[in-house]
Structure 1
């Protein structure tokens, strides 16, 4: 049995159907069941035709009749040509040869996408290095206050003999550390935000230059509306990642590492209890990343479908009205909204499933430290200042973990956007820029003979135009916005 999926149904709607070739039967199945079926003994051959932005799988019977049995966008033309060849081979040999027609796209890891995105940072490495260095300084300064609290409790408040002026000195150091942290953090945020904005500006410019050089076949495959979505929404998401996301992730990871080292230096046994939930949290994060990747890709596909329909329908409102398709388009858009809503609900459920347990584990760890540390203080094994510092550091330790868990959905969303941008850049069929302007030479008249053309299979821009422009003549093409003047030119 051989199978292949379409991305348009028999009414040219953006819905899937499946074409199946089994022993003695060629059939097409839609969401409501079998749409078409024919005994293969009646077939002479199968072939693919390309129409206005779409492809068609056509069969010819032994009686000479031809029938279009499946429709698909230009992105699937090559796959359906292979499928048609497989049908013809079966008709010749009466033997089904196992084959796969769906093109498997290379699965890219999130790390490789991040590495690709930061490939645009080559010109701004120094600024990024300054931002990262300031991040390290910010973390170091933020780790000072809890330790000062320990010294205050053990060496000043509970000390039997107090060192003169120690309280005042601790207060001055505390003020200086807070002030320095604020100043350094401001410069760090500025450096990373400037670097991120410069990177995204270059990325957006490169993407635009790449998009306008794409050949028509590639624009058909991706669709102009989805290219527009990449230039706006997707680059906006990557901008968030390279500005706020980058600085937040770096600072939080450094904070976690720094606090872990300090806790083990203060009291290794108690530090063990702090780190006890970490393996479970890591397992939850790994599991979340696997599920969230699929969930956010699905969400973005639904979002892109909505944007595509808006960009296709609104500029062509005159066509919609003339064909009295207002109600149909409204229903289709409503169906798309429902699908997008369902993906958002699924994402919300997934977030609650993974991150609520993380919050509970953090709270449970605080209770354990309170109980174990309190008992150690009671028996005189541990100083109260150490337990207090532990609780303060623990809040700082799990705070970054919670913050990372909070921004992880946005990070995954941004990585998904990066993958969508990468699809455009990885296109090897981009048209080469001409070496210089060439003046066209017309030796004959320009003739339009019942020409139809559309960028989208559902909405032809030019409909049955016939015209002759004589050689050497200069004409003006006039009409209202969206009538197809630029397309004809």
Structure 2
């Protein structure tokens, strides 16, 4: 069985007391709602249970004696119970749904807050579709339990208790005959629960597969269409969808057997009442009113039995969902903050790596004994082949990952002793793959920060050369940005990301292949802006095109996770080492392009 399947199947019991205690902890802030709901449930349970008894009184005491006034009184009482039940049921439904929505709101907020805190290492190994399933489908399953599961179970139990009370009060022997089918019901319920549990495990597993597949392939739709893989991917989707459909059909199949069987037992129970109770009525040992009341109570009894079976399914769903939700909440893949963090103040931007070793997977080092120093205000470039460790340096400098050995300092302070949020306040990163959120141009530059004024946003856009194209948009800075900036060109998105970095006025600026996706004309446009952007800041530039970093104060040459060379452009060329070879290769490539 795959690891993914293990994560999505039901690993615990159908009812897990430990999980339930943890779930009920979310109810504690709403004890008032729970108390009110239980009281209303007791009332809702007793009102319908009284009606058959009133019917018995009407038949035996008033109809049999032709007491019309008494019959009017009973009819008024019956009407009163119906109206009272409707009013109480309204408040019960309102308050239980309100409580359920408040609890689900709290759980969703807690989940999202937890996901925000998780380290990137977690997202490296976890499909996004699975996380979405936890926050949407699984949490919604808990909503059913809190809104219509836990509290309404009390109603069903109270109804059954009141029915038993009235039945045994009127005729204990007829009550025993009526309930003689209960052992068969218990056995049938046991089999039903076992089969439904197995079916539900498959439903949840295939639903998670479906969500993951949808998320992955919609995100990568451009690749699917580019390579004309629509039909092949459709076949794979159809297969997964078919598995999900079949799992649901199996689940429905057990319900289709169980509920008619319950109806059959109900019919048998009614038959026993007519056979045994009717015989006693004929022999004048039982009144007609009691017989009719028993028929009504029997019909009432099987309704909560069916409801409890439904509640079991809700409970089963909630147990499975809560197990996965708590597994996510218990995941401690964090880049931990120090207990007593050191405060960064008056940051100048001096960066120093001392004997740093780093691995994404234990023992597989991608950075080996890296040591270098970038003085405040300097621009350092990092070059090297793909996989040399350039981006990894950025990942550990921003503490997206923790290092295995060595230390990293900013202004002489070990960053492992600094709060992550405090550290990242002084660093801005412009990535090769720009991510824009749904919203406006303005909100994508400020990222919703109340500290950044509209004037600062516009100035930042002007500095990087984004202002002109933004002003040509219909909505200008309030232009709506679609998901991932779908309506903007790659170059325009890149310019917005530059404006975003500048708006936060960082002490340390990192450009990770930031101009590789921009056409030559746009690159020329922003080169001067980049020079302004870098001035007065400590900057790290990662670039494949060596022509863009010739003016750097120092160039770090990476090769297979090791720092091989450090120097200026001219110094490294004079050494005729790795940098010289890289430069020669690019120079030749450019000559070939020019000659063509």
Q: Does 1:344 align with 2:280?
A: no
1:107 paired residue among 5, 12, 19: 12
Q: Does 1:367 align with 2:271?
A: yes
2:184 paired residue among 272, 280, 288: 280
Query: Does the 8 A contact of 1:277 with 1:361 survive in 2?
Result: yes
Are residues 475 and 164 of structure 1, via their aligned partners in 2, closer, same or farther at CA, if it must alter by over 3 Å?
Answer: closer
What corresponds to 1:203 in structure 2? 107
In terms of mean alpha carbon deviation, does 436-445 or 372-381 score higher? 436-445
What corresponds to 2:141 in structure 1? 237
CA RMSD of aligned residues (A): 3.3
Q: Does 1:140 align with 2:46?
A: yes
State how far apart, in whole Å, the 2-side matches of 1:220 and 1:228 are.
15
Structure 1 regions of 5+ residues with no counterpart?
8-13, 17-74, 77-103, 454-471
How many Å apart are 1:349 and its aligned residue?
2.2
What corresponds to 1:427 in structure 2? 331
What corresponds to 1:156 in structure 2? 62
Computing the radius of gyration from Cα coordinates, the structure with the larger value is: 2
How many Å apart are 1:221 and its aligned residue?
4.0
State how far apart, in whole Å, the 2-side matches of 1:437 and 1:330 are.
54
What corresponds to 2:450 in structure 1? none
1:312 paired residue among 191, 209, 216: 216
Secondary structure of the residue aligned to 1:318 is helix
Query: Does the 8 A contact of 1:143 with 1:259 survive in 2?
Result: yes
Secondary structure of the residue aligned to 1:445 is strand
Provide the TM-score with structure 2 as the length reference: 0.57
How many Å apart are 1:305 and its aligned residue?
0.5
State how far apart, in whole Å, the 2-side matches of 1:184 and 1:325 are.
58
What corresponds to 2:287 in structure 1? 383
Q: Does 1:130 align with 2:36?
A: yes
How many Å apart are 1:306 and its aligned residue?
0.8
Q: Deviations over 1:110-146 (max 9, x none)?
A: 2433332221111001111111111011111221211
Alignment of 1:153-232 (within 5 A): 153-159=59-65, 165-232=69-136
Provide the TM-score with structure 1 as the length reference: 0.69
Are residues 446 and 233 of structure 1, via their aligned partners in 2, closer, same or farther at CA, if it must alter by over 3 Å?
Answer: farther
Query: Does the 8 A contact of 2:14 with 2:197 survive in 1?
Result: no
Q: Does 1:262 align with 2:166?
A: yes
Structure 2 regions of 5+ residues with no counterpart?
352-373, 375-379, 390-426, 435-483, 498-510, 515-596
How many Å apart are 1:163 and its aligned residue?
5.6
Are residues 441 and 204 of structure 1, via their aligned partners in 2, closer, same or farther at CA, if it must alter by over 3 Å?
Answer: farther
What corresponds to 1:41 in structure 2? none
Secondary structure of the residue aligned to 1:357 is helix
State how far apart, in whole Å, the 1-side matches of 2:135 and 2:142 are.
11
In terms of mean alpha carbon deviation, does 201-210 or 356-365 score higher? 356-365
What corresponds to 1:450 in structure 2? 386
What corresponds to 1:353 in structure 2? 257
User: Would you say how many aligned residue pairs link Structure 1 and Structure 2?
Assistant: 373
How many Å apart are 1:210 and its aligned residue?
1.2
How many Å apart are 1:402 and its aligned residue?
1.9
State how far apart, in whole Å, the 2-side matches of 1:404 and 1:266 are.
26
Q: Deviations over 1:323-360 (max 9, x none)?
A: 44323222211111121122122212222333332221
Q: Does 1:119 align with 2:25?
A: yes
Q: Does 1:334 align with 2:226?
A: no
